[in-house]
Structure 1
Amino acid sequence: MIPDLPKPIADYIDANARLDIEGMLKPFAPYAVVRDDGGRHQGQAAIRTWIEQATIASRAIFTPDTLCHADGQVIVEGPTHGDFPGSPLRFTLRFTLEGDTIRALEISL
């Protein structure tokens, strides 16, 4: 794990390593938005479904290896291993935080 990750991001990544859906969902604000693979998922129910389909179903575990801050976002990069074609793939996760919650997450290759 990268030291000094903001707590909501560290909590999300730690829960992802355990494939813990409740732990992954907990850091998100109730109105948070996730953009991934051309989709937009807003609110806890939609984000839960996205986690189930995009992460749990393919056992996708993200391992961050770089961290930077730009344009008000926390940008974390690293490989994701799982049961999906091309594994591992390198992803960039752009987090927008609001207090101790994740307000937005954008995922790209």
Structure 2
Amino acid sequence: MNLPEVIKNLIKAQNAHNPEDYAACFAETAVVHDEGKTHRGKVEIRQWNQHSNQEYQTSLKPQDYDQTKRGDLLTAEVSGDFPGSPAILKFHLTLDNNLISSLKITG
């Protein structure tokens, strides 16, 4: 599977439970939508990831990656301390200048 470098870095940071490296994958004005909440900017994204790591200890295992005109789509097996683990989730991404500007996580 041919993943962009920033997506490789995102997965590596998540699997290491490193919120600083995770947030570094995003543009300053990036937006993340997950579990009905919106997180704007690197500071909020780092805080969201840190909280998520503490609560769920999730790790990502990429299953598929598609680049389309509407954006990129990473399908990953997500495992951790949550009901229904592992789960297959979709990461809808917009990349700009080798950084993530938008991420929406869906089931």
1:108 aligns with 2:106: yes
Q: What's the TM-score, normalizing by structure 1?
A: 0.91
Name the residue aligned to 1:47.
45
Name the residue aligned to 1:73.
71
Q: How far apart are 1:63 and its partner, in Å?
A: 0.8
Runs of 4+ in structure 1 over 3 Å off: none
Q: How far apart are 1:24 and its partner, in Å?
A: 0.8
Structure 1 runs not aligned, ≥5 long = none
Aligned ranges for residues 1-109 of structure 1 at < 5 Å? Answer: 3-109=1-107
Q: How far apart are 1:45 and its partner, in Å?
A: 1.4
Where 1:86 maps in the other structure, the secondary structure is coil
Q: How far apart are 1:53 and its partner, in Å?
A: 2.0
Structure 2 runs not aligned, ≥5 long = none
Q: CA RMSD in A?
A: 1.2
Whichever residue aligns with residue 36 of structure 2, its letter is: G
* Cα distance per residue 1:16-69 (max 9 Å; x no partner): 111111111111001000011111110111111210222342101111111112
Fraction of identical pairs, as percent: 29
Where 2:10 maps in the other structure, the secondary structure is helix
Q: How far apart are 1:87 and its partner, in Å?
A: 0.7
The count of corresponding residues between Structure 1 and Structure 2 is 107
Whichever residue aligns with residue 58 of structure 2, its letter is: A
